[in-house]
Amino acid sequence: MVAAMRLAALASVVPFLSSTFAAGIPPVRRQETSSSAVPTTSPSSSSQLTTVPASTTSLGSAPVTSPSSASSLSSSSDSSFTSSSALTSSAPVVTSNTSSVATTTPIPSTVSATPAPSPTPVSQPSGGIGFNTTPTYKPQSDFDFQSLNLGLHQELIELDLFHHGLAIFNESDFAAAGLSEDDMFLIEFMADQEVGHATLISNILAPNITQQCTYQYPNFTGVRDFIDFCQKVTRFGESGTIGFLAHLDAQDTASLLMDSITTESRQQMVFRQFEGLFPMPFWFVPSITQSMQWTLLSPYISTCPAENPAVDWTIFPPLTILDNPYFPDTPLDNNTEPAITHNRTQATYLGREVLLSWEAPGAQTGFNGSFTTHSSAGQPQFAAWISQLNTTYTALSNITTANGTTNATTIQPGGEVYGNGTAALINGTVYAQLRSLPQCAADLLYRFLLVTDAAPYVTPYNLSEIEPHIVAGPALYSSG
Ligand SMILES: *[C@@H]1O[C@H](CO)[C@@H](O)[C@H](O)[C@H]1NC(C)=O
Ligand SMILES: *[C@@H]1O[C@H](CO)[C@@H](O)[C@H](O)[C@H]1NC(C)=O
Ligand SMILES: *[C@@H]1O[C@H](CO)[C@@H](O)[C@H](O)[C@H]1NC(C)=O
Ligand SMILES: *[C@@H]1O[C@H](CO)[C@@H](O)[C@H](O)[C@H]1NC(C)=O
Ligand SMILES: *[C@@H]1O[C@H](CO)[C@@H](O)[C@H](O)[C@H]1NC(C)=O
Ligand SMILES: *[C@@H]1O[C@H](CO)[C@@H](O)[C@H](O)[C@H]1NC(C)=O
Ligand SMILES: *[C@@H]1O[C@H](CO)[C@@H](O)[C@H](O)[C@H]1NC(C)=O
Ligand SMILES: *[C@@H]1O[C@H](CO)[C@@H](O)[C@H](O)[C@H]1NC(C)=O
Ligand SMILES: *[C@@H]1O[C@H](CO)[C@@H](O)[C@H](O)[C@H]1NC(C)=O
Ligand SMILES: *[C@@H]1O[C@H](CO)[C@@H](O)[C@H](O)[C@H]1NC(C)=O
Ligand SMILES: *[C@@H]1O[C@H](CO)[C@@H](O)[C@H](O)[C@H]1NC(C)=O
Ligand SMILES: *[C@@H]1O[C@H](CO)[C@@H](O)[C@H](O)[C@H]1NC(C)=O
């Protein structure tokens, strides 16, 4: 009942929800018919994101979309919303409804783009790539296709996840977590952003488009638990995407994905702020590989339509951190309310013993049970900590194996990204020296943790060289 009421409210935010999400059917992206500039594919399949061939969208040299079409992509511009009259405070808050005052000014019409003569180009320094080609915004290789398809899976789960939380928790539940209706609307708006991002990637991948799957989330104990999960999902989504952008053959496409992933980075930060954590406790967002991202994402996808394109990334054996700190319940300090920022004290520390457990390869996993976990590594020897620009190794101890599961311990390492006095990699004891950063900035971030059979030197651009050595993982270590 409550969920139904929430859905009714959501349906007014995102019109396509009313007939689809409420019935458990994946959302359909509807294009306003008033736009003649953007032909759509057949609307016959209601379970598909309506797709627009990239070459005919407003990208590149194609016609500019009409204002009505543009506004249809932004459900939040729906006039059914009114900003709260109680909004008089200008004090900083995590979210506030500061929508612009309604205007009666007629929407000005725009002019369609038309071919223009190409006089001498404006001079610029020599070099750079991609200036003498017309962008096509299509995958140029299997690598591109599979990377984008992974990105689409990521967008689709986030879309479903954000709606899921808004559907299972009501205003009182959010209020108990210190979150207002404005904050709830921000989550809904983030879901709308996912619609846009999924549309973008679908346009690029058409006609081979992954459709919405069904998902299996943890049984959230409350809103803070849900928010923490969102923070983790957006963390590996962001790290996975920035890991492959510079490797794409289609750099025109990479530029579009960059435009979407920067938005997703902000989502990740907002979820941290909703938890009262330090918003961006790093100097550099770590990159991970597609197979690392898929290893983290795939357990939450339960079933997918059989017609979905295959996913060709590897799923490594799952790695569990048995003593991972858990933010919502960790008594970091007495101030865990949502905030723009808090000086939250460390959740972990240099020298902490970390308990790891992982499975042998060969287990059936992934959506429709259609994947098998894989590792080509030899004997487990090291824990690899991927953080900032760096991959740091520590030795494994107390290795025991029984019934296909191996346990081991390792010790949380230190190190700073550029040496003394810069951002700590994982060293939680040097706060006094970290004048340039708040103490939580040194410690409160997730790290990707792997078990490996060797300790190769890798950097963000050649991180894939570690993959043959992965015994299990990654897992997200909640160091702060
Ligand atoms: C914030 O704006 C959204 C959409 O405009 C609306 O649904 C919501 O009720 C507003 N919240 C408050 C507290 O005014
Ligand atoms: C909100 O949902 C909770 C359960 O999650 C329930 O106990 C509570 O009564 C609901 N509150 C309202 C105002 O519907
Ligand atoms: C969530 O709860 C349901 C019903 O109790 C159970 O079947 C399912 O296994 C639980 N899921 C997780 C991830 O614990
Ligand atoms: C779609 O994917 C299939 C295999 O999954 C492939 O054979 C086909 O060439 C792809 N089509 C396009 C247009 O990429
Ligand atoms: C948190 O509150 C408890 C009890 O009120 C108090 O004993 C403790 O010192 C407080 N901790 C911090 C970090 O303020
Ligand atoms: C792991 O081994 C170290 C010594 O190598 C020991 O100090 C520690 O207590 C062991 N931890 C566990 C959980 O057995
Ligand atoms: C690993 O640790 C877990 C939790 O302590 C325990 O239940 C399990 O038996 C251990 N397995 C092995 C192989 O030591
Ligand atoms: C392995 O499985 C056997 C039989 O199910 C059980 O008795 C034993 O405790 C398990 N060992 C560990 C370390 O979990
Ligand atoms: C942590 O940082 C301190 C100060 O820079 C340094 O002395 C110590 O060796 C570091 N620990 C590790 C494990 O790197
Ligand atoms: C971290 O990576 C940066 C960039 O590659 C490098 O300059 C720095 O030395 C590394 N720091 C550590 C502690 O390895
Ligand atoms: C870092 O600081 C420690 C202690 O302050 C000092 O011993 C060490 O030489 C410094 N390392 C570098 C690379 O400056
Ligand atoms: C926050 O932490 C930083 C670094 O430890 C410290 O300099 C600053 O005084 C702290 N601010 C507050 C309000 O505690």
Q: Whose CA is nearest to atom 12 of ligand 8?
A: 402
Instruction: Render each residue's pLDDT in the chain as its tens digit; 480 residues.
Output: 334 434 444 333 333 333 333 333 333 333 333 333 323 333 333 334 434 333 333 333 333 233 333 333 333 333 333 333 334 456 778 787 766 655 677 778 888 988 888 778 888 999 999 988 899 999 999 999 999 999 999 999 999 999 999 999 999 999 999 999 999 999 999 999 999 999 999 999 999 999 999 999 999 999 999 998 999 999 999 999 999 999 999 999 999 999 999 999 999 999 999 988 888 888 889 999 999 999 999 999 999 999 999 999 999 999 999 988 765 545 445 567 899 988 765 667 778 899 999 999 999 999 999 999 999 999 999 999 998 898 989 999 999 999 999 999 999 887 778 877 777 775 322 222 222 222 223 333 457 889 999 999 999 999 999 999 999 999 988 765
Give me 86's structure tokens. 């109680």
Calculate the CA 111 to chain-centre distance.
36
DSSP label at 275? T
pLDDT of amino acid 98:
67
Q: Note the ligand closest to the C-alpha atom of 218.
A: 3
**CB neighbour burial string for 185-219, b if at least 16 within 10 angstroms, e if fewer:** bbbbbbbbbbbbbbbbbbbbbbeebbbbbebebee
The CA-CA-CA angle for residues 389, 244, 260, to 5°, reads 100
The reply to whether ligand 11 has any atom less than 6 angstroms from the CB of 432 is no
Q: Which atom of ligand 11 is nearest to the CA of 433?
A: 5
Q: How many CB atoms lie within 10 A of CB 248?
A: 19
Q: Whose CA is nearest to atom 10 of ligand 5?
A: 334
Q: Note the ligand closest to the C-alpha atom of 429.
A: 9
Ligand 9: which residues within 6 Å by Cβ? 350, 413-415, 420, 427, 429-430
Which residue from 201, 46, 223 is spatially nearest to 138, judged by alpha carbons?
A: 201
Query: Tens of pLDDT along 334-347?
Result: 567 899 988 765 66
For residue 446, how far is its CA from the centre of ligand 9 (angstroms)?
19
Question: Using an 8 Å Cβ cutoff, are 250 and 139 in contact?
Answer: yes
pLDDT of amino acid 343:
73
Q: Would you say the C-alpha torsion 459, 463, 467, 471 has a positive or negative sign?
A: positive
In the beta sheet, which residues pair with residue 5? none
Domains and CATH numbers, the chain: 1-31+50-55+136-275 (1.20.1260), 307-478 (no CATH)
For residue 279, how far is its CA from the centre of ligand 9 (angstroms)?
25
Global confidence as pTM: 0.79
- At 368, give phi and psi (nearest 5°): 55, 20
